[in-house]
Structure 1
Amino acid sequence: MVRLRSAAESTFGGLPGAFWWLWIATLVNRLGGFVLPFFAFYITGPLHRSAVFAGAVAALFGAGAAVSGVVGGVLTDRIGRKPTLIGSQLANAATIVVLGYARSTWALALGALAVGLATSAFRPAQNAMIADMVPAGDRVRAYALNFWAINLGFSFSMAVVGLVTHFGYRTLFYADAATTTLCALLIAILVPDTTPVETIRARARSSSVAVGDGRKREGLGTVLRDRTFIAFVATTFVLLIVFCQYNSGLPMAMSASGLSAATFGRIAAINGVLIVLLQMPVTRLLKRYPEGRVLAGAGLVIGGGFGLLAFGQSIEMYVLCVVVTTLGEIGNTPTGQAITARLAADHLRGRYQGVYQLAWTLSQVAAPLVGGAVLSAYGGAPLWIGCFAVTGLTALVFLRIGKHVERRVAAARSAEAEAEADQTKVTATAIADGQQPELATA
């Protein structure tokens, strides 16, 4: 009993109340996440369109999401965390309802693009807000809890989607929009804005540049010039091309093996169940290791899961593949978000998270192209062996990046300590001279 209480405390304790309100809002949003997972089925089923058209619509959604993540990151730093979160959620709800009424080819295509442009803008704001709220030592745990809420809500929505469709497919769009709107209302009422004061100062500096005071404008270019971070995003993108074979190469291979879509659905459902059951225990276990090593190890586990398919493609092997790759996903996702928060200055966290989001959105576009091309030209075994080989290379890069991150964090801490020491000296001198400390530091 004591051990159970200790585990619960180390998992859920010590985080601010505002984080839990944001967590609840995220869970509510995902409880109604009906539309996107079943949109391709909706197009090819009730709307009787081709699979090619469904793929093109999915690509438009992905393109919109890629743009949305970066724009959302810029807005997060420019207008604030909370306004971006609320605005993006309300826009997402509105575009989902409109998409529910789309029937023509152009309406469906433009509707999917509009949903994509709205749907990913909240992620940089949410991740930046978590970094603002939670101390650096607890951020991996906080991001893991957020990821857990996403999968908990997703598992519920997939379990009840059949019940919802009894009222008609348009009900899916209304229900999704309703939970998204409720999420926005919860954030508006219960979650404080964590936008740092430096964001306001950055706005002032942007206008002072035109006057010619010699200051450099800090914006998206600052992020793109961060070589360590860009190397991290590029390596993550390569790893995610492997991981996203879960949604592209894996179903293609299972179909070629004569397995049905229903069988794929049942095996794929193992992913969500394992994340709900294991995300927090595994996160507690990995907390003792440096983040670079966790990313390297998680990548190897993902590659190893796909590599197992080179030894056979039975149902049992597919199940084992999903189990192993899910363990890698559990280690990778919250750790990557935490490293992004570590590398970003407070007033640039939105932009950093937005660029990091590109690795996810673009990999979802690239993975089907890569997986399909390799499967068509060479077959399954080369694809799965190649997945493991690629993750071996990404592991080496992550280890190197991890060392750079630790050096940057150590240097930042040293600079902060020196600044505090200097401030203490200035204050002490002012007091000794009979001055007010505020006047000495102005």
Structure 2
Amino acid sequence: MKTLFNNYLNTFKGLSKEVWWLSLITLINRAGTMVIPFLSLYLTKSLNFTMSDVGWIMSAFGLGSVVGSWLGGKLTDKIGYYKVMAFSLLVTGFLFIALQFLYTFVSFCLGIFLVMLVADMFRPAMFVALSAYSKPENKTRSVTLIRLAINLGFSAGPAVGGIIITTLSYGGLFWIDGITCIIATLVLVNVLNPKKAKILDDVITENPKSAYQDKAFLIFLVAMVLFGIVFLQYFSTMPLYYKDVHHLSEFEIGILLGMNGFFIFLFEMPLIKWLENTNFTKSGLMLFGAILTGLSFIILNFTPWIGILIIGMLLMSFGEMITFPFSNAFTMDRAKKGNQGEYMALYSIAFSIAHVFGHNAGMRMADAVGFENTWYIITLLATLSILLLFILRQYLNAKKKHKEKIKDEEEKDILWI
């Protein structure tokens, strides 16, 4: 048991001090966004908005995320990741506090759009910082550590948020959210100041290539949008399926969803460490992760047996654990020859787009054609994502062989001379 524990700890070795600090800042920030899971309840119970109103507000939420990710990438390339992260965290803190004083439908739509615009400027800047503070061989594990921080933050946030609502009211949520963002800013300024922090991989490109001209990256982005739409069903449509079809209680649904976070915490870092030491390519691993996630939906239609839900959750969890870290590392690799902020922004935008359409589309399909047909449609989307990732792998392999052929010919010419 002791050996297993030591082996687990060893998977975290070699990561820079700055990456650990960045993970702590991310944990504080994500744990602080505890208002988000309770937003629909707050809007309907406290502000008496209709479900239709809430739908439009969530659309404004998603659009703010898209614009913020794009703007964050642009500013990161112009003024640097540090200034963007500090600005985003600090201003988001004050905007969260101010959000509780908006009571009308139009003002709340504009307010949540602005909050998400500023808040999601942080994401591309953070990923560029992560790349700078990581050795090239540690980038995938660094991303995995950030993912652990995000998962822990999202796990702790709703639990703490529920306590705050019962003791302080919904207003307390906005205050705590704002204060945690400001605390995260103070941590950032004190421990990640560029004058103090150690840059391990400072990539400077003479003639940066636009991400919009990178054919392989554009194929990858479309695949990630589709994968994001499929993946997000587990956090919107799937709980309804558990309750309406399999008649699980809220407690049982919570345990099943909690398995996802538990498996990520327990297995993701050792799994990534092991996969990094194999000969698999990043594109091949993303393809395998997408296949596992797609299978997690189609198997639900095979049998009414309750245990299939656990198998589905396991398949999705391992699919997520493989696809997300390696897709992020793939983006970092592509960004080395271009505008890093632009690349990381487009990667963030891919999942913001998935958020805009994924939740709403899944629930509408379930209502219109039933859960069984919905899982067939979602599996079809997963298959399209898998097909695109397969095309990406073939394209990259062809490019690699072409480069090797040119290199061989050049070496032959040199020998002939």
Whether the 8 Å CA contact 2:35–2:161 is kept in 1: the answer is no
Task: Give the TM-score, by structure 2 length.
Answer: 0.86
Question: Counterpart of 1:5 in structure 2: which amino acid?
Answer: N
Deviation at 1:323, TM superposition (A): 3.0
* C-alpha separation in 2, matches of 1:172 and 1:410: 55
Q: For residues 235-294 of structure 1, what are the alpha-carbon distances to aligned partners after superposition, in whole Å with 9 as ceiling and x for unaligned?
A: 111121111112333234345435565654443333223222222122223322321121
Task: Give the TM-score, by structure 1 length.
Answer: 0.82
Q: For residues 333-379 of structure 1, what are the alpha-carbon distances to aligned partners after superposition, in whole Å with 9 as ceiling and x for unaligned?
A: 11111000011126611110101111101011221343244334432
Secondary structure in 1 matching 2:46: coil
Matches within 5 A, 1:166-245: 166-193=167-194, 196=202, 198=204, 218=208, 222-245=210-233
Match of 2:234 in 1: 246
* C-alpha separation in 1, matches of 2:395 and 2:367: 39
Whether the 8 Å CA contact 1:64–1:115 is kept in 2: the answer is yes
Whether the 8 Å CA contact 2:43–2:49 is kept in 1: the answer is yes
Whether the 8 Å CA contact 1:18–1:192 is kept in 2: the answer is no
Equivalent pairs: percent with the same residue?
A: 26
Q: For residues 96-135 of structure 1, what are the alpha-carbon distances to aligned partners after superposition, in whole Å with 9 as ceiling and x for unaligned?
A: 1111222222222111111111121111011111112212
* C-alpha separation in 2, matches of 1:292 and 1:197: 22
* C-alpha separation in 1, matches of 2:374 and 2:65: 27
* C-alpha separation in 1, matches of 2:139 and 2:79: 24
Match of 1:440 in 2: none
Q: For residues 19-75 of structure 1, what are the alpha-carbon distances to aligned partners after superposition, in whole Å with 9 as ceiling and x for unaligned?
A: 111111112222322111211121122333222211211110000100110110111
Question: Is the alpha carbon distance of 1:412 and 1:106 closer, same or farther for their aligned partners in structure 2, counting shifts above 3 Å?
Answer: farther
* C-alpha separation in 2, matches of 1:357 and 1:50: 30
Matches within 5 A, 1:272-291: 272-287=261-276, 288=278, 289-291=280-282
Question: Counterpart of 1:8 in structure 2: which amino acid?
Answer: L
Question: Counterpart of 1:94 in structure 2: which amino acid?
Answer: F
Deviation at 1:189, TM superposition (A): 1.5
Q: Are 2:323 and 1:332 aligned? A: yes
Q: Which shifted more, 170-179 or 160-169?
A: 160-169
Question: Counterpart of 1:329 in structure 2: which amino acid?
Answer: E
Secondary structure in 2 matching 1:12: coil
Match of 1:368 in 2: 359
* C-alpha separation in 2, matches of 1:4 and 1:256: 40
Secondary structure in 2 matching 1:45: helix
Q: Are 2:107 and 1:107 aligned? A: yes
Question: Is the alpha carbon distance of 1:412 and 1:30 closer, same or farther for their aligned partners in structure 2, counting shifts above 3 Å?
Answer: farther
* C-alpha separation in 1, matches of 2:305 and 2:62: 32
* C-alpha separation in 1, matches of 2:54 and 2:360: 15
Q: For residues 159-218 of structure 1, what are the alpha-carbon distances to aligned partners after superposition, in whole Å with 9 as ceiling and x for unaligned?
A: 22222121121111111111111111111111143595848x78xxxxxxxxxxxxxxx5
Match of 1:81 in 2: 81
Larger Cα-atom Rg: 1
Structure 1, gaps ≥5 residues long: 203-217, 416-442
Question: Counterpart of 1:251 in structure 2: which amino acid?
Answer: P
Match of 2:296 in 1: 305
Structure 2, gaps ≥5 residues long: 407-417
Question: Counterpart of 1:379 in structure 2: which amino acid?
Answer: G
Whether the 8 Å CA contact 1:309–1:318 is kept in 2: the answer is yes
Question: Is the alpha carbon distance of 1:27 and 1:411 closer, same or farther for their aligned partners in structure 2, counting shifts above 3 Å?
Answer: farther
